[in-house]
A and B are shown apart, each in its own frame.
Chain A
Amino acid sequence: MESEKEHWDIIIKPRDNSFSLNLGETWKYRDLIKRYIHRDIVTAYKQTVLGPIWYIIQPLFTTIMYMFVFAGIANIPTDGLPQPLFYLSGILIWNYFAECLGRAQGTFLSNAGVFSKVYFPRMVVPISGAISTMLKLAIQVATFAVIYLYFYYAKGIDISPNIYILLFPLLILMTACFAIGTGIIISSMTTKYRDMGILISFLVSLWMYITPIIYPLSVMSERYSEYKWIIALNPLTPIVETFRFATMGTGEFSWASLAYSFGVTVVVLIAGIGVFNKVERNFIDVV
């Protein structure tokens, strides 16, 4: 009887099939999340001359390339928007997504050293990755704003943001959650069989082309309406389109598609955390 009454703080059991999100414990480690973010930001551009300016250079050059290749050679329209603004708006969301995904995807393999020595909720790593990447996003959004103002005042182009701009934090949160969810599912699958990692890395590079980054969704409706459903199924599509609509007034925005995107994000994230928590307990035996 005595032993049943006893209180144990830690109980270590074999892994079972129960599904748990383990969010409470992750919350206890919020100081560690802050530390990781701090570390990422401090160390990102150590021993570089240009430092965070690289965050600006990289999307600008990509934009110039896109203007040349897709708008110039391939002649894909940009919904009547100035080309730099059109491409940059897509690129900054896609970059944020791709970077969060990459960070989450590498959670187990790139942290094997630390994970094999110390226990803490492994979700700390993808979460802090998504948050620290926001710094880069913020700088790129600022760049976007500067170019936006240039076109608005200097060129007098008729673009204006509307009330939907208030959705912006939600869009970013959705992008982050969707990237984390997808990334940790991939991460969980690749600890033992690394084939998945090879497959996924090239699938992700193709993914950009089914997201309206280099073309507006309206083009798909006009020219390839029978394939439009593929693009519409992509949960990132409503996010990009909503962002363009909110900032520049063109693009296909509907609450229904945004709600669909939100639903997919929630499902992917919960499924991801479940799978991830199961793998994290034994990952070090198979990595």
Chain B
Amino acid sequence: MSNIAIKFENISKQYRLGVVGTGTISHDLNRWWHLVRGKEDPYLKVGEVNDRSSKAISQYVWALKDINFEVEQGDVVGIIGRNGAGKSTLLKLLSRVTTPSTGIIKAKGRIASLLEVGTGFHPELTGRENIYMNGTIMGMTKHEITRKLDEIIDFAGVEKYIDTPAKRYSSGMTVRLGFAIAAHLEPEILVVDEVLAVGDAEFQKKAIGKMQNISKGEGRTVLFVSHNMGAVKSLCPKCLLMENGRVSLIGETNNVISRYIEMASSKNISDSKDEWITSIDERLKIKAPYFIGESNQIQKIFSQGESIKVVFEVDFIDEFKKIMIGIALDDIYGNRILTSHSIDDENFSISKSLKGKIRFICDLESKYLSAQSYNITFGIRNEANVSIIKSEVPLAFSIEPTRKIDGNAGILVNAGHWDMEL
């Protein structure tokens, strides 16, 4: 007996582009005529890969194409990917809100999906009544809810307001109550879509803790879609990366996340690497900045402690007297790690006016950086202190660990000098 809880077999989902109108009737009639004669839907043969940036040629698009994977019982799997990669469609299929165009999903046990918290809440009903309403919509019986009522109220922390209509609740309270109900559903399979993005920090922590309990303590299977890499990392040992409606990688969370970061950035770097981009101030053109390591090679993966230089190639078409460049380094959770501005560096001064092609190099204090992935954004200002260009998409690089021990990483590492006094 295998331990597979969910199995996706050749799952595809097709959507039609454009609006519903007279044009769709002919397709519908044709499809119906094929189905009546027992033939295959003719429009399932067409359709293109789901890439929202390129212009569509066909009228149909595959939001999901040939998805095959299995999830073992008790696994907590994160699903990550860019907007429109098909994550939500996948969850919608699993929660049976819509059906796949082809393929079969098999699952063991009850599936509860949290695509939204507080589905079916009625503003006129009291908190208590809404717990029953929402709980039954999610598939609980009245008896089950009654048994868990106190626990739910306690978890949501809304005891005082439980007999007040939900319309008097703050939005945070509504979310807490909604999540509390869902967390006490006790399904064998729990499907969660980014609902943790709401609520205050304390509640998010509580929610993640609860989900960890659900998976670890009670052996339930959880699928978790999120853009919050921090939450994914702390919750899911396994991760699945979606790209243009396909599964591009399944595996250990750290590997998948770093691949995702790389994927997200590789595109725009290679796209504009050798292109000169004109800034708002037409006297200045710039190439996409890149990183060089100790071997003076352009690279994106560095080992810990290695020097990292950010290089800006700038072309001054007309004379500049002054220029200010600033960079900021964020980790993948969006925490700002460091900033550096050319104007703050006392050793850096522009002695003569700028003309022609000039390289600016920022040598990062990289030895303090812990091993993880980083995103860099930059901005340039002219003499009048006007921002003339800034990065729209962050550039990314990552640092591979070389530390001798596995201590707590922290934002800074090796940031201390050791001495011994006898």
- Residue numbers of A with Cβ under 8 A of B are 2-3, 6-15, 17, 29, 31-32, 34-35, 38-39, 42-43, 46, 113-120, 192-193, 281-282, 284-286
Contact check, B35 vs A17: say whether CB atoms are below 8 A apart: yes
Number of contacts between A and B (CB, 8 Å)? 111
Collect the chain A residues with CB atoms within 8 Å of residue B99's CB: 12-15, 281-282
Chain B residue with Cβ nearest A32:
B136
Binary A-proximity of B1-14 (CB < 8 A = 1, otherwise 0):
11000010000000
Binary A-proximity of B334-376 (CB < 8 A = 1, otherwise 0):
0000000000000000000000000000000000000000000
Measured in the bound complex, the distance between the Cα atoms of B106 and A9 in whole Å is: 8
Collect the chain A residues with CB atoms within 8 Å of residue B124's CB: 42-43, 46
- Segment of B88-96, B212-220, B270-278, B399-407 engaged in the interface with chain A: B88-96
Contact check, B105 vs A6: say whether CB atoms are below 8 A apart: no
Contact check, B116 vs A6: say whether CB atoms are below 8 A apart: no
Among candidates A29, A32, A116, residue contacting B97 with C-beta atoms closer than 8 Å: A116
Contact check, B109 vs A9: say whether CB atoms are below 8 A apart: yes
Contact check, A284 vs B108: say whether CB atoms are below 8 A apart: no
Contact check, A282 vs B35: say whether CB atoms are below 8 A apart: no
Collect the chain B residues with CB atoms within 8 Å of residue A116's CB: 92, 97, 115
Chain B residue with Cβ nearest A17:
B35
- The answer to whether residues A39 and B105 also contact, given A116-B97, A118-B137, A285-B15 and a CB cut-off of 8 A, is no
Collect the chain A residues with CB atoms within 8 Å of residue B93's CB: 12
Contact check, B105 vs A115: say whether CB atoms are below 8 A apart: no
B128-174: which residues lie under 8 A (CB-CB) from chain A? 129, 132-133, 136-139, 141-142
Contact check, A6 vs B119: say whether CB atoms are below 8 A apart: no
Contact check, B95 vs A118: say whether CB atoms are below 8 A apart: yes
Contact check, A118 vs B97: say whether CB atoms are below 8 A apart: yes
Contact check, B107 vs A9: say whether CB atoms are below 8 A apart: yes
Tell me, yes or no, whether B102 is within 8 Å of chain A by CB. yes
Tell me, yes or no, whether B100 is within 8 Å of chain A by CB. yes
Collect the chain A residues with CB atoms within 8 Å of residue B133's CB: 35, 39
- Residue numbers of B with Cβ under 8 A of A are 1-2, 7, 15, 20, 24-25, 28, 35, 92-111, 113, 115-116, 119-120, 122, 124-125, 129, 132-133, 136-139, 141-142
Measured in the bound complex, the distance between the Cα atoms of B139 and A32 in whole Å is: 8
- The answer to whether residues A118 and B113 also contact, given A8-B108, A31-B136, A282-B98 and a CB cut-off of 8 A, is yes
Chain B residue with Cβ nearest A115:
B97
- The answer to whether residues A114 and B98 also contact, given A8-B106, A9-B108 and a CB cut-off of 8 A, is no
- The answer to whether residues A11 and B35 also contact, given A43-B124, A118-B95, A118-B115 and a CB cut-off of 8 A, is no
Collect the chain B residues with CB atoms within 8 Å of residue A118's CB: 95, 97, 113, 115, 119-120, 137-138
Chain B residue with Cβ nearest A13:
B104
Contact check, B129 vs A285: say whether CB atoms are below 8 A apart: no
Contact check, A14 vs B102: say whether CB atoms are below 8 A apart: yes
- The answer to whether residues A31 and B97 also contact, given A9-B110, A39-B125 and a CB cut-off of 8 A, is no
Contact check, A13 vs B136: say whether CB atoms are below 8 A apart: no
Contact check, B100 vs A281: say whether CB atoms are below 8 A apart: no
Q: Which 4 A-B pairs have the closest CB atoms?
A: A119-B96, A12-B105, A8-B106, A43-B124
Contact check, A10 vs B107: say whether CB atoms are below 8 A apart: yes
- The answer to whether residues A32 and B122 also contact, given A12-B93, A281-B99, A285-B15 and a CB cut-off of 8 A, is no
Q: How far is the CB of B51 from chain A (nearest CB, A)?
A: 20
Among candidates B35, B97, B122, residue contacting A117 with C-beta atoms closer than 8 Å: B97
Q: List 24 A-B contacts (CB under 8 A).
A: A2-B1, A9-B107, A10-B106, A10-B107, A10-B108, A10-B109, A11-B104, A11-B107, A14-B101, A14-B102, A14-B103, A31-B136, A34-B142, A35-B133, A39-B133, A116-B97, A117-B97, A118-B138, A119-B97, A281-B98, A281-B99, A282-B99, A284-B92, A285-B15
Chain B residue with Cβ nearest A191:
B20
Collect the chain A residues with CB atoms within 8 Å of residue B136's CB: 29, 31-32, 35
Q: How far is the CB of B113 from chain A (nearest CB, A)?
A: 7
Tell which of A7, A13, A34, A119 has the most Cβ of chain B within 10 Å. Answer: A119
Q: How far is the CB of A6 from chain B (nearest CB, A)?
A: 7
Among candidates B20, B107, B139, residue contacting A120 with C-beta atoms closer than 8 Å: B139
Measured in the bound complex, the distance between the Cα atoms of B139 and A190 in whole Å is: 28
- The answer to whether residues A42 and B125 also contact, given A31-B141, A35-B133 and a CB cut-off of 8 A, is yes
- The answer to whether residues A12 and B96 also contact, given A118-B137, A120-B137, A192-B20 and a CB cut-off of 8 A, is yes
Measured in the bound complex, the distance between the Cα atoms of B95 and A119 in whole Å is: 6
Contact check, A6 vs B97: say whether CB atoms are below 8 A apart: no
Tell which of A12, A43, A115, A285 has the most Cβ of chain B within 10 Å. Answer: A12
Chain B residue with Cβ nearest A192:
B20
Q: How far is the CB of B255 from chain A (nearest CB, A)?
A: 29
